[in-house]
Copies of this chain bind each other. A is one copy, B any other.
Amino acid sequence: MQQPIIQVINPNTSQAMTHTIAEAARSVAAPGTQILATCPEQGVESIEGHFDEAIAAIGVLEQIQQGKAQGASGHVIACFGDPGLLAAREIASGPVIGIAEAAMHMATLVATRFTIVTTLPRTVIIARHLVHQYGFEHHCAALHAIDLPVLALEDGTGLAQRLVRERCIQAKKEDNSGAIVLGCGGMANLAKELTEEIGIPVIDGVTAAVKLVESLVALGIGTSKFGDLAYPNKKPLSGSFARLG
């Protein structure tokens, strides 16, 4: 069985969050799996809306190409909006998994309904779009925001973490959900502890995505190169995009 190199891409430029994500990824990787944690040099420090996502998507594409050059067998997009997911699949040959889809898929395998807990109210709508696109509307009981910006998860006060915990406890009671999906890559380190405390699966997408990429690599299944995910039609890329060519 192939020993995979899994590239875990933090689509924002925060080194602290890249570190949190890398640690979470390594904590679940199989022996022999190499985690290549990266983030783009250019872009935004945190991703909190459609505009930020559009910028982050370019960083993701650049990172995918670098990851391929470094021999990555598969890729994780470690931002809950799964920015650039389908574009990334077009240029990749191995599997590419977004952490939102990873967490939602896993949640439906262990509970009949799940709740999503995310950071800002404005990212709730992005999560809702993904739920709709992935087909999980009947599985998603509710979406909640703690109403703090993404970087509050890295400010060292623990406030964001406390609010996530409270929201999860409340969600179990009110939504009658069997599982909770953590709606931000920066919450990756909270899943295990909350699972134990709250008594239902609290699922983080970073670790879930790492295992899904490992699984697909082991199964010999890469991204389909037929149809809309085939490699992009070759054409000149001008200006700052030339580096993506």
A interface, CB within 8 angstroms of B: 1, 13, 28, 30-31, 41-46, 48-55, 57-58, 61, 84, 86-87, 89-91, 95, 97, 101, 105-106, 108-113, 121-126, 129, 132-139, 149, 172, 176-179, 192, 195, 199-201, 203, 207-208, 211-212, 214-216, 218-230, 232-233, 235-241, 244
Contact = CB atoms under 8 A, between A and B. Distances in A.
A45 to B, nearest CB: 5
Copies in the complex: 6
Given A42-B238, A133-B133, A49 B228 contact: yes
A45 B109 contact: no
B90 A241 contact: no
Contacts of A101: 109
Contact of A238 (B13, B106, B226): B13
Given A42-B240, A133-B133, A135-B134, A121 B176 contact: yes
